[in-house]
Amino acid sequence: MKKQPFKGIDLSSDTSTQPTMAMKKAMLAAPLGDEQKREDPTTRKLEELTADLLGQEDALFLPSATMGNIIAIRLLCQPGDELIAAKQSHIIMAEGGGAAVHSGVLIKPIQTNTGLFTEQDLHAAFRFEESPRYPASTAVSVENTTNLGGGLAWKTETLQAVLTKAKELKLKRHLDGARLCNAAIKMNVGIAELSQEFDTVTLCLSKGLGCPMGAVLAFKNNFSLQAERLKHLFGGAMRQSGMTAAAGIYALKNHIERLVEDHKHAEIFFKKLKSEIEEIRVEEHEASTNMVFFEWQGLHLSSDQFYQACVNQGLRFSRTDHNRFRAVMHLGVSRKDVNLAAEVLKKVIKN
């Protein structure tokens, strides 16, 4: 059966954002060239702009942040190496085993419910034993914000302590910064302050920044040639990509500061769930950004029935577990939508 587009308030992900009319105009006006030959002027402008924004030296425009993470792992690790990351990080949970498939890399998970960890956690996860029989701990990946961990931004002092420990252990450092701009807005710091000490950084453009597609992988100059080769190897050549790169340029110039609206909407929705709907247990986190996680605790509906009832009423969340739901605020969600979403939940419960 052909799946129909969802019509209603879509809180399932910030990937459901649609490009604004101003962004579309910027896309139509973009000068184009052959991106594979690095001759597309708009794509090069986006790469230079992003590298500077992230405190890096070079960057590549890619179809997705998943490809960015895959390339980064391949740059930092050799087959048989060990990458350390939080147990529910995107590279473990939502990239199809790409680290194993594309790089032959073993991921060692740090046990954490939030996706955040400390320098002590990193030290404990590091494999100090040296033996031909053991994989070598080679790199660490940090996700900021932590998606399945609650949409949390890392505190700058915690992040700095982890980076200091990583350097002490001679670990290479990757930042999965798919929603890094949300983290910078939440912590009220410059974006480069959160990313410049990493070897590789992924930034997604198609989430809160509102682009129709695309991501950027930024890195130090010593990775440039190999990163370009891996992009081609993994099928990432996009030819006249300037039209979509123009959306990224527009987003970086116009959509970062507005992320504070998404955070406010998430806070409003959180308060409504916590104070007005007894059948829902909402997770409370200090450093939440644009996401609200909650569990259904009503006795008259199963979690499946609850979810389907919401969809039938024109309200969609994502499910991160059987009875754990995620509501994500984004460019396409207004204050009116937030209030209406709460009313839909009350209606579902009442009926």
Relative to beta strand 324-328, strand 291-296 is antiparallel
Q: Residue 324 and residue 150: Cα distance in Å, rounded?
A: 11
Would you place residue 5 in the very low, low, confident or very high pLDDT band (cuts 50, 70, 90)?
Answer: confident
Would you place residue 7 in the very low, low, confident or very high pLDDT band (cuts 50, 70, 90)?
Answer: confident
In order, the DSSP letters of 216-284 are: EEEE-GGGHHHHHHHHHHTT---SSTHHHHHHHHHHHHHTSTTHHHHHHHHHHHHHHHHHH-TTEEE--
Residue range 7-33: mean pLDDT, rounded: 95
**Size of the chain, expressed as the number of residues it contains:** 351
Q: What is the pLDDT of residue 205?
A: 98
Provide Rg for the chain, Cα atoms: 21
At 351, which amino acid appears? N
Residue-wise pLDDT for 51-88, tens only, equals: 999 999 999 999 999 999 999 999 999 999 999 999 99
The percent of residues above 70 in pLDDT, for the chain, comes to 99
CA 336 to chain centre: 26
Q: Are 148 and 88 in contact (CB under 8 A)?
A: yes
Q: Are 21 and 327 in contact (CB under 8 A)?
A: no
Residue-wise pLDDT for 261-318, tens only, equals: 999 999 999 999 999 999 999 999 989 999 999 999 988 889 999 999 999 999 999 9
Q: Is the pLDDT of residue 131 over 90?
A: no
Count helices and strands in the chain by DSSP H and E runs: 14, 13
Residue range 224-238: mean pLDDT, rounded: 94
Q: What is the pLDDT of residue 130?
A: 85
Angle at CA of residue 157, ends 156 and 160, nearest 5°: 85
3-state secondary structure of 20: coil
Q: What is the pLDDT of residue 15?
A: 93
Rounded to the nearest integer, the mean pLDDT of the chain is: 95
Burial class (CB in 10 A: 0-12, 13-18, 19+), 90: buried
Query: Which of 256, 269, 277 minimizes the C-alpha distance to 336?
Result: 269
Q: What is the pLDDT of residue 91?
A: 96
* Cα–Cα distance list, 345 to 13, 276, 305, 313 (Å): 18, 10, 13, 9
DSSP code, position 286: T
Q: Is the pLDDT of residue 1 over 80?
A: no
Q: Which two tokens stand for residue 300?
A: 């008259």
Q: Is the pLDDT of residue 19 over 80?
A: yes
Please enumerate in sequence order all residues whose Cβ is within 8 A of that of 280, keeping only pairs 6 or more positions apart, or say none.
273, 294, 295, 296, 297, 298, 345
In order, the DSSP letters of 109-149 are: EE--SSS---HHHHHHHS-----TTS--EEEEEEESSBTTT
Q: What is the pLDDT of residue 300?
A: 86
Domains and CATH numbers, the chain: 9-15+258-350 (3.90.1150.10), 20-254 (3.40.640.10)
3-state secondary structure of 18: coil
